[in-house]
Amino acid sequence: MQRHADRAQAELQRLRGRRPRRAPGLQKNSPSDAAEGGRQAPFALIDAVKGGLRIAATNGTAAAAGIRPGQRLADARALVPALEVQDRDSAGDARRLTRLAEWATRYTPWTRAEEVPVGAHEGCGLLLDISGCAHLFGGEQALLEDVLGRMAGMGHDARAAVADTVGAAWAVARYGQERLRIVKPGAVREAVVPLPLAALRISQEMADDLGRLGLVSIGDVLARPRAPLVARFGAFLGQRLDQAVGGRGEPVAPDAVRVLARARLLFGDPLIALDGIVAAITLAARDLSAELVRRQQGARRLRLQLYRVDGQRFVFDAGASSPLQDADRIAALFAEKLVPAGGLSGADIDVGYGVEGVVLEACAVDSVAQRQTDLTQEQTDGSSLEELIDRLSNRLGAGRVVQLTARASHLPERAQGSVPAVSARDMTVEDGVPPLVMYGDAPLRPIRMLTPPEPVEVVAEVPEGPPRQFRWRRMLHAVAKAEGPERLAPEWWLAADRGSVTRDYYRVEDEAGRRFWIYRDGLYERETTAPRWFMHGVFA
């Protein structure tokens, strides 16, 4: 990984000089190509809504013939008898819109896809809160031009607007005269006044009822007293008016999870080679590391997003066993997911015609305690236990590298469990189970324990005494020394232990010097008249 870090900038500069070929899929779906080689006959998508079938969308030929979204199908057929129609796939539209919203996180994390209601003919949309983000793309105008340009490249004929309120931006984008418009701060009222009532995001029925009263535009409604209108049409109309002109807030609640720190790199020319993508990840990791250092925090969970030119997004998650600030270690977690190495295959991603954006996020962070490793403060050589755990967990899967943890149980087989090593610290905190508290010295127990314990045949001098000799795995052992018992009562508060009996553990040594851990199951004449014996472990 150090190799990539050292030549990261040079690699990016070299790769940025390449121009990718045009994606066939984009070429096929672009509006211009559709006009040249696509459907030439008038065509429309229809929705079955209350009152009959209505036009949902049209192609250019149908639009030129006067067919409009929202029009009844019967009226459209009266204009163009040869109009071809097909049912709209609302579920497919919603899925595609969700993917576009994910793609739009390259601009801002506050991104949300609108719902796609049946019968809506204004077009599906995305809501982006670009507060504090526009300057990263050269301003609001440049950001909108970039969005529309990339949407056109993906085959979407889009319109866009920026305004102080969601309602005003929604209205201007759909019913304004311009394909791209920026409403100046404080000018939303002037921008929406001339727009039709449908721009208020109200139902067509409500717009028709308002039209019968002679109200045609939003300005007509705003000029009328509010109380009579609300009394007749309900509070929803007043809410929409306030949302449009700024009287009521309407925050954009993103679908994405809250991110604590983020680094973003966008490229004018997409990156095609895998080495270049890894180099870009390294640069993003450096930016993220600088932010984490400034906050005196380290990342525990990280997410990498790669944005392909056609809107496809690849997401990779990684975890760290300790708060992580080092840029090279962060980059290495993801580089190993992408680059095949060590006989293991990396992630099978199709770079296609290039990756145009890299976003690296810290989804969970912890405070970092400053720690001096040695007198010289030299960098580690990448062989620490934490680095090994992180690399193995992210290469093999978090659930395949585990760590033993103590549990609050005095029974040996329950006294410890295994958890994913990268999340061992989190699980200790989150599960709420207190650690096992020992008073005095911990009892001596073997490192190797048998699961389950194996039965043994025991001969003892007295029923409640230690064994004199025992047979285990067909071998007879004469006991030379014995120590115990260590008495362990069943955990009666657990349903699984109801009906269990007390155990008396003995550490015994046979005449050959081999040491064993044996227990008698049940107290003689108090819990059972014929206690059984089991081998539970072997001392090293």
For 451-490, the pLDDT digits (tens) are 889 999 998 888 888 899 999 998 999 999 998 888 888 8
Q: Is the model's pLDDT at 446 over the cut of 80?
A: yes
Measure the CA–CA gap between 153 and 148, rounded to whole angstroms.
Answer: 9
DSSP assigned state of 102: H
pLDDT higher than threshold 50 for residue 175: yes
Average pLDDT for 492-517? 86
C-alpha 219/C-alpha 230 separation (Å) is 16
pLDDT greater than 60 at residue 423:
yes
Residue whose entry in the numeric block shows the structure tokens 């993801």? 334
Query: 357: which strand partners?
Result: 266, 307
- Cβ 531 vs Cβ 521: under 8 Å: yes
pLDDT digits (tens, 9 = 90+) for 355-405: 888 999 998 888 876 666 666 655 555 557 777 888 788 777 777 888 887
Helix (H) or strand (E) segment spanning residue 453: strand 448-460
pLDDT of residue 211: 87
The distance between the two most distant Cα atoms of the chain, rounded to a whole number of Å, is 109
Decide if pLDDT at 24 tops 50.
no
Residue 394: is it exposed, middle or buried by C-beta count within 10 angstroms (0-12/13-18/19+)?
Answer: buried
Give the Cα separation of 96 and 145 in Å (integer): 21
Q: How many CB atoms lie within 10 A of CB 214?
A: 8
Rounded to whole angstroms, how far apart are CA atoms 261 and 361?
6
At residue 78, what are phi and psi to the nearest 5 degrees?
Answer: -65, -35
The whole-angstrom distance between residue 493's C-alpha and the CA centroid of its chain comes to 39
Is the predicted pLDDT of residue 39 greater than 80, yes or no?
Answer: no
Tokens of 26: 């984009």
